[in-house]
Amino acid sequence: MPASARLVVLAAALLGALGVLLGAFGAHGLKHRVPPELLALWQTAVQYHLWHALAMLGVGLLLLHVPQHGWLRVAAALFLAGTALFSGSLYALALGAPRLLGALTPLGGLALIAGWGCLAVAAFRP
């Protein structure tokens, strides 16, 4: 397996495992400790987290076939950064972090959108 594909698949696997862990923590550890609106915020973070772990896995599998494809590498990096910023800021807000941290959420969302855009470009670039 090419190194770039191995790295992206590893990151996807770790991101997926962390997403499941955080989902379980929200369902069992936070359920009776935070208000419903903050629990909903946590659930949104988990949902985007896990979807983008799967997206990274797909990019990693594509990198098996075209290991030097720059757009795929950029897509993976944007999915990772976007998940950290988007879901990470929502997790923090649900746990009581200052609302100012919410300014990172749309930046993470933009990174996720850009990651999907890079994946689209990769589909049309050799």
State the average pLDDT over residues 26-51: 95
State pTM to two decimals: 0.94
pLDDT over 70 for what percent of the chain?
Answer: 100
Predicted pLDDT of residue 1: 73
- DSSP code, position 1: -
- 55-92 in b/e form (b: 16+ CB < 10 A) is bbbbbbebbeebeebebbbbbbbbbbbbbbbbbbbbbb
Predicted pLDDT of residue 121: 96
Predicted pLDDT of residue 16: 98
- 102-114 in b/e form (b: 16+ CB < 10 A) is eebbeebeebbeb
Domain boundary assignment for the chain? 3-124
